[in-house]
Chains A and B, each alone.
Chain A
Amino acid sequence: MKNLKRILCLALCLMLTLACLPAMAAGSVKIGVLVADATGAEALAFRAYYEKYIAKAYDVEFIYSEELKTADGEKDAIDNFIVNNCKAVISFSSVDRPAQIEQCETAGIYYAVATGTLTDEEYEDFKNYEHYVGAIGPSLNTEFQVGYNMAAYYIDQGMTKFGMFGGAVPYRTDMHIYRAAGMLCAMVDKGGEGAAYQGVNKPDDIIGMIYGTGTIETGKIGNLELLAYVGGYDFDDAWFGKLAQMAGTEGIEAILTVGSGVDVLGSFVAGSSVKLATVDSFTPAMGEAMNSGIIDYVAGKFATSIGPIFIATLNAVNGQPIRNEEGCALALDQGYWVATNAEQFAQYYAVDSSEENPAYSKDILDAYAPAGVSYEDFAAFVAQYSFEEITALKK
C-alpha cells in the first residue's frame, strides 16, 4: 500500500513536470482567446485554424479560456490572460462585451471581437478606445438576411408549408431572434397580398414581437403556412417529443432552423421527404449530414473567417492598429458561406479546413500586415468573404 501511494505521488509530480514542458516552448506574442463554446464542432474548427496554422505561421501563442457562460467568467478569464502577459484578447464570448472592452482598456491590452459585432450604441461608446481593435463578424442585419435568404430559397421553389426551430429565441438571444425574424419576413414578403405575421408585416415590428413573447406563433402568413414551431434547448423527453412531432407534421415541406438543425432534428427528418435547413458551420459532421441527405441547406461560418481579425489584432500589438480617418476602431460585417448540396459543401470544406493552405492563408493575410494599411483597404478585403472571392484572392 505504501508503495502504491509513493507511485501515485510520483505520477502526480511527473504529470506536473510534463505539463510545464510545452509551456516553456511558447511563442513570443501571447494572445488570449475567450470562448463561449469549447467543445462544439464550430469552436474546434476555429481553434484548429489558430493553433495548427496561425500559431505556426506567425510567432504567437494562443491561450484559451474555459467555456464561458457568465459575465464573471469572462472577467476571470481576462484576468487570467493579463496574469499571463497576453498582449491581446480575441473574444468569441458575448455575455458582456462592454465589460470586456473596459477591462482590457484599463489593463492596456488589445481587444478584438471575432465572429460578432457590437451594437451601434456600443460602437459609439468604444470606437475611440486606444486598445479596442474592432469587430469582424455577422452583424444583426446579416443574421436577419441569413434567415430571410433561407426561407426565400424554399419559398422560391414553390414550398408553402414550413416548420421552424427557434433555438435560443426563448432566452432572447439576439442572433437567433434576428434569424427567425428574417425567416418570417421572407414569408410575409413572399406570402402574397396582405400577408402578415400576427398582424404585423414590418421587420422591426416582427423583431419586437419576438423579443416580447420569446416565441414564434404558428399559423397562416398569406398563402404560406407555419405549421409547427419548437424553441429552446431543454433536451428533455418532452422537448424531443415536440421536435419529433414537428418533423412528422402532415404536409410539412421544410423545417427552417436558426441553428443546431442537424443536432436537434437530424434523426427525426432522416429518411423523410422533409427538407432541413440550418445556420451552422463548415464541419465534418455537417458534411456527413449533407452527404446522407439529412440536411439540405447550410448557411455556415467558416473556420478561417477569423483570419482577418487575427491579423488586425497582431497589427495593433505590433504598434500598427488599423483605424479609420477619425481614428475609430474596425466595425466590419462578414457573412456566411451557403451550401445547398453535398458537392458544394465538400469543395468549401476542403479549402476551409486545410492545414497547409487554408482559405485565409499567411500569404493573403500578410498583404494586410505592413504598417500603413488603410481602413478602406482592409474593409474591402474583409468584404470579399464569399468562397469565390477568397479563392480569387489566393490566385
Chain B
Amino acid sequence: MGKQTWKERIPAFASILGLMVLIAAYYIVGAIRDANVAYGLKAIVNQSVVVALVATGAVFIYTLGSFDISLGAATGVSALLGAMAYNATGNLLVMFLVCVGVAVVLGFINSSLASIFNLPIFVTTVAMMSVLSAFMLILIGWNGAGDTIKVKARDVRPLDNIPFKVAILAAYIALCWFVFTLLPTGREAKFTGGNPVCARLSGINEKKLGIIASLISAVGIGLGAFVTIIYAPTLTKDTASSIGMDVIIAIVFGGMPVSGGPRSRILSAVVGAFSMGFMTQIMSMLNLGSGYGQMIKAAIFLLVVFIALGSQRGKLLTR
C-alpha cells in the first residue's frame, strides 16, 4: 500500500476530469458557433435532472452487482398515475405522493419477487419492464383522451424552474449520500457487490439489502416521474422510455463499474448525467446530424470509461 503516483490517481478522477473537459469544450464550441451559452446551461440542467435523480437511486442497485432494466417503464407508470391523480384531485401534493408511492410499490414488488423466487433482481425487472410497458398503454386507454395523458401546463408551470429541480436533486443526493456513506447499509451493499459469497458468510442479508436498495431507488424514480410531469406535462406511452439506457450510460460515464462493489459512488450518477447533458449540447451546437453525433458521443464515452477503469484492470477482487 505505497503512496499512489499521479498516474494511478488519474483514473479515480477521470470522470470528473471528463466533465471538466466537456464544460471547457462546451464554452469553446459555443463561442465558435456564436451560441446562447447561458441558455444552454439552463437546458443542460433541465435535460439532466431526471436522469440524475433516477440514476442516483439506481446506484444502490448497481452497487449490489445487480441491474434494473425497468427503470424507464417504472418512471413512466409513476408519471402517468401521478398525472391521473392530479387530474382527479387538482392537488400537486397528491400528484407528488402518487408518483413516489407508485414507484415505491413497484420497487417493493420487484425486490419481493426476487426474494420469494430467489431470483436476481435483474430477472424480475425484465419481466416487470414488459408488464409496465403494457400497463402504460392500458392507463392511456382508461384515461380516454387520445394517446396522451395531460396535466394543464399552467398548473405545473410555477414548479418548472431550475432552483426547484436542483433543490429536489440536492435533497435526494444528500439522502442517498447519507445512507450510502454513513449508514451500515452502504458498506454492506459495497461488500455484497464486491464479493457476494464473503458478504453472505459474514452474515449480511442479501435479500434485505436488495429490498432496501430497490426502495431507495424507487424514491428516485418517483421524484424523476414528478419532475418529468412538471417539465413536460403531456405524457405518452413513450414517456421516460429512454431513461433505463440513459441511467446505465450515466453511471458508467460517471466512473462507476456496472458490476458494482467497493468502487461504487453516489456522485458517479450525477457526474455522468451532467456529462451526457454537456455532450448532447456540444453535438447539437455542431449540428452534426444524429448519426455522426452519436458516433462521436460513443467514442468520447469509451475514452472516458477506458481511463476511469484503467486502474482496475488486472486487479483481483475488484468488480
Binding site for B on A (CB under 8 A): 8-9, 12, 15-16, 19-20, 22-24, 26, 38, 61, 63-64, 66-67, 69-72, 74-76, 79-80, 82-85, 95-96, 98-99, 102, 168, 170-174, 211-212, 214
Contact = CB atoms under 8 A, between A and B. Distances in A.
Q: Give the one of B140, B150, B228, B290 with max A CB within 10 A.
A: B290
Interface string B275-319: 000001100111111101001100110010000000000000000
A327 to B, nearest CB: 24
B146 A69 contact: no
Contact of B239 (A8, A16, A72): A72
Given A70-B236, A83-B40, A64 B290 contact: yes
A70 B228 CA distance: 11
Contacts of A99: 153, 232-234
B292 A70 contact: no
Contacts of A38: 290
Interface residues of B, number: 51
Contacts, number: 126
Contacts of A69: 236, 238, 241
A72 B153 CA distance: 12
Given A26-B287, A96-B232, 19 more contacts: A12-B300, A15-B296, A15-B299, A19-B296, A22-B287, A22-B288, A24-B32, A26-B33, A63-B287, A64-B287, A70-B241, A72-B232, A74-B232, A80-B43, A83-B30, A83-B35, A83-B285, A84-B287, A99-B234
Interface of B: 29-30, 32-37, 39-40, 42-43, 46-47, 50, 137, 140-141, 144, 146-148, 150, 153, 228, 231-241, 280-281, 284-290, 292, 295-296, 299-300, 303
Given A70-B241, A84-B284, A85-B36, A172 B147 contact: yes
B33 A23 contact: yes
Interface majority SS (helix, strand, loop, mixed), chain A: helix
A23 B34 CA distance: 11
A294 B280 CA distance: 42
Nearest to A12: B299
B153 A9 contact: no
A160 to B, nearest CB: 32
Contacts of A76: 43, 46-47
B238 A70 contact: yes
B147 A173 contact: yes
B303 A9 contact: yes
12 contacts: A16-B296, A23-B286, A64-B290, A67-B290, A76-B46, A79-B42, A79-B43, A79-B47, A82-B36, A85-B36, A172-B140, A211-B144
A23 B287 contact: yes
Contact of B286 (A12, A20, A102, A174): A20
Contact of A75 (B37, B147, B231, B300): B231
